[in-house]
Every structure is written in structure tokens, then in C-alpha cells.
Amino acid sequence: MTKHQLFRVVTAAVIYNKEGLFLIAQRHSKDENQPGIWAIPAGHVEISETGLHTLEENLKREVLEEIGVEINIEKYLDSHSWVTEDYKKITIVFLCTISKGEPEPLSETDDIKWLNLEEVKKLKTAPNIVRLIEKATKVIK
């Protein structure tokens, strides 16, 4: 079996605040996957020395690495697959809030913004981002 026949698992966070705004991060301009595009914090599930991390542990680690905050995972929001000639991914998305820290762009991001749905629609976003924010907007109301 070649690596292209396997799906990689990705976890992602739609982070919102009390004002109903969503945290959007701009990928680093040197990112190998869609540099400069606006997205939500996400990352591949990694294997640890003791086996796979839980999806929730993986997501918390990714968010801390990307924007420097700790999160509460409120609930499962969505999942979708992404298939290209180069890779196949299954992304599992959680609705989250910040439990500790102030978000800031770190090594994997150039900028971050708190935006409402209409503002997100005006940005050049990664696939599914607008759909996920629309879904999250309905869930948190």
C-alpha cells in the first residue's frame, strides 16, 4: 500500500468568543500548503512514544503551537475529507473557546483576527472555512 492510499487525520478548531466572533489565522507566507491563506488552527494527528494522541490532545497541542493559547473543546462540529493527487485527509473539527492566554501569531502564522461571518467571507480562505463558520454560527446561537 502506498502512502497515497492512506488518509491522514487532521484536527481543527473553530474558536469563538463571547461576542460571537471567530478566530481566523493567516498561514505563514512560507507555508508549503496554501501560504498566506486564512484558515482555522489545525494539524495532523501525530504519533507519540506511547501511541496516538487523542484527537482532543492533538488539537490542544496544535492550537498552542500555532497561536499560543489553551482551549476548551466545547463540542464536535463537523468532519470532511479532502482528496488530491498528493494526499488524502480526513479533518475532524471541534467548536472551541479559549481557556487561557491571548492569541498571537507564532511561527506557523503571519496574522490572526477575530471576525464575524460576513468579515470572514471577504477573506481568501482555505476550503470549507466559510462553511464551518456558518455552521458554528448556527450552533452557538
Give the chain's length: 141
Prediction pTM value: 0.90
Report the pLDDT averaged over residues 82-88. 82
**pLDDT reading at 69 higher than 80:** yes
State the pLDDT confidence band at 30, using cuts at 50, 70 and 90. confident
| pLDDT for residue 134 | 97
The CB-based long-range contact list for 1-7 (8 Å cut-off, 24+ gap) reads 4/85, 4/86, 4/87, 4/88, 5/88, 6/88, 7/81, 7/88, 7/89, 7/90
